[in-house]
Structure 1
Amino acid sequence: MSADLHHLGAAQCNVVPLTIQLDPSAAPLHIWDRCLAVIRYGLLMIDASGRVVICTDPAQRLFYNMNIERTGNLSSRQLLRALCTGASQSRQEIFEALRGARDLQISASFEVAGQDHTLQVEIRSVAGEGWVATLEDVSARKANEARADELARLDPLTGLPNRLLLRERLAEALARLQRNEEACALHLIDLDRFKPVNDTLGHPIGDALLAKVADRLRSTVRPTDTVARIGGDEFIILQTGIREAADAQALARRIVDLIGRTYMVEGHLLTIGASVGVALAPADGTSADKLLKNADLALYRAKLDGRGTYRFFEPEMDARMQARRRLELDMRQALARREFQLHYQPQLQLDDDRLIGCEALIRWKHPERGMISPLDFIPLAEEIGLIVPIGEWVIRQACRDAMTWPTGMSVAVNVSPAQFKSDRLVETIISALA
């Protein structure tokens, strides 16, 4: 092997038949001892002059599986050429690894892929003696790794692609968009009224329902499209090769109709719905993150419009959402900054026009935007959970103010449904009155 492995291609090599029998006396004893541990693999030993002095039966079988000729004469040059032909690394990379094995006395390892088999080849230089090569069939291991990699990209409940595989396919679709001007659409789907199914009938029923939803979604798309489950009751469809927005609109309409039909799950008749947000590429973005964000904004709009419908992304949706986020951030600080105020609406006894009390009405005096209507911030406060601490402040402040009123006057405070769900409501009222 000196011609190819020792000198890395400088001269011709001696050859011996590859069908040589295993013979310990053909190699120095200390080399043979090193090889006993790997005899269950394919084993080749090449002396310093380049002769193949040992080729075990497992090695011959592996060569046969890889369609490498095993009859006649085989030189180290031919062997190296045969191995390099199917290697996953380039020929230059293999030679660099072999040079390291020669100079640094470390092993050179690479894989050789055949039609049905994959070999792991490891070659180590033995100072002054030659080379030892071990060959292992790693086909089963590679198949298991490929299967594990595939499972890591699938949702275990529905068998649909998960978020990871969806992103990979979305990246491929966006790359085709750049090359071929091929448009695509993202349909972000959220199931309506799914949570009550889980809460009342249990998670096994909920899981079975999700599996049926997945089957319906599969049935409504083409083989070139991707249906993915990205968690909980959220699904995404990547629709590729669309010609115009009407193609995406037709699919969104089918999704809403199909998901909204009755299900039979383990004897239970179940009815849910679907809200769908749609983003188109390239009109609504040419990156995965941008498209996902815009589809989410469109989905939010579909929910606001009553659920059970679909909405396409529109640029003003982003502007409204940015304004909403700013309002939310300001409202989270408004309590600490004492920006909320209570205005009181008189309550009159109609019989004698006597003032008998007042109703407390909250107002927000923003330092930059001035007075903000409750219609603008109360629904947002209820949505994000801030209505509970804001409502508690209203109750306490109204009681403080009422203490300064004439005797006999009452104060009325509006209470949000979210406050009734809070365990602190009764305690808050008792504390405020005290």
Structure 2
Amino acid sequence: MDERTDKQKAIDEWLPITSSRNAKWWYSSFHNVTAMVGAGVLSLPYAMSQLGWGPGIAVLILSWIITLYTLWQMVEMHEMVPGKRFDRYHELGQHAFGEKLGLYIVVPQQLVVEVGVNIVYMVTGGRSLKKFHDTVCPNCKDIKLTYFIMIFASVHFFLSQLPNLNSISGVSLAAAVMSLSYSTIAWGASVDKGKQPDVQYDYRSSSTAGNVFGFFNALGEVAFAFAGHNVVLEIQATIPSTPEKPSKKPMWKGVVVAYLVVAICYFPCALIGYWAFGNSVDDNILITLEKPTWLIATANMMVVVHVIGSYQIYAMPVFDMIETVLVKKLHFPPGFTLRLIARSVYVAFTMFIAISFPFFGGLLGFFGGFAFAPTTYFLPCIMWLALYKPRKYSLSWCINWICIILGLMLMIVSPIGGLRQIIVQANSYKFFS
């Protein structure tokens, strides 16, 4: 039974997550690819150089398996209560932990992830535009990174006015195709360059402390690369559902396709990039690959197109939260003016932070451990244990506890590595450079 009043129904039909429920299963595929295969893939060879061959391959495979398992849990829990859909991550949290506690546990973490990703993508978009400019026109006047971030942000002032996830499906499809393309260029160009004559595979830092902190930071970078969980319930909310045809079937189909694409992008890029350049690889492999010029310029423009789509996928749940508070709590009338002002202020905020702190690698490690590890690696497992209550020491119970322990360890150590890298890079940094 739908117990909402007409006013509540009208508001829900206006809010971005619940306004459109006519998505097909392949929408979930490219939304998930766009959400997951982000800037993180380009930093995987760098992460490998901090982890080394054995631990690096183990961490990549483990992360792929664990995150696919926790994503399956979230898809299953979306409609675990007959007749009700948990359209947002925090709604599932409230069902698992209680009305208030669920909000306090999930919302801060989800906001840190989504706002954090948007800031990192502002930096990535700006850096890729700058790299494109410098590659195409090496003799031109040098332009500050700040201006390129502002150019990248200007696109989002327009795109952020699109009402919901289904309305950005075209942008998302283009972004998903681009992510597959530039990942392929990254490892293809690495194969073409071949193993460098002076390549070294020992750890990057000369000190033990540097290697330990680098290892911690690399774990965060890998966690950052598997980050689609923060928008998965919101993506599933756009798929129609009936008791005969629940949304979990098409959603899971889309997730499996997305994860196959993720594997095709991540593993070759990480392993071949590290094989070719060893510990001299940059925190963005496209920066290491200087030639052929036209190919690297093309790849950088592909990154720009991809992070445009990815920014929007992560921004949509934030827009939903902002608009829910403004309309339901502060009783602003829903409409174009509210959306224009609220979303433009958010885009301007992420742009300002990105201009102030463009530390790409350190940001990945810090955000990856601090917020991605809980929401991706172990929060779904805790909810599963709380709601389904599997028998103690059963297979499900054991798997969930293993994921929780590994996720907790990741959450503790990787922000330490990321923060240290930010501090090291900040020593030579001038504000608004």
Bigger relative CO (Cα 8 Å, ≥ 6 apart): 2
Higher helix share: 2
Relative to the length of structure 1, the TM-score reads 0.21
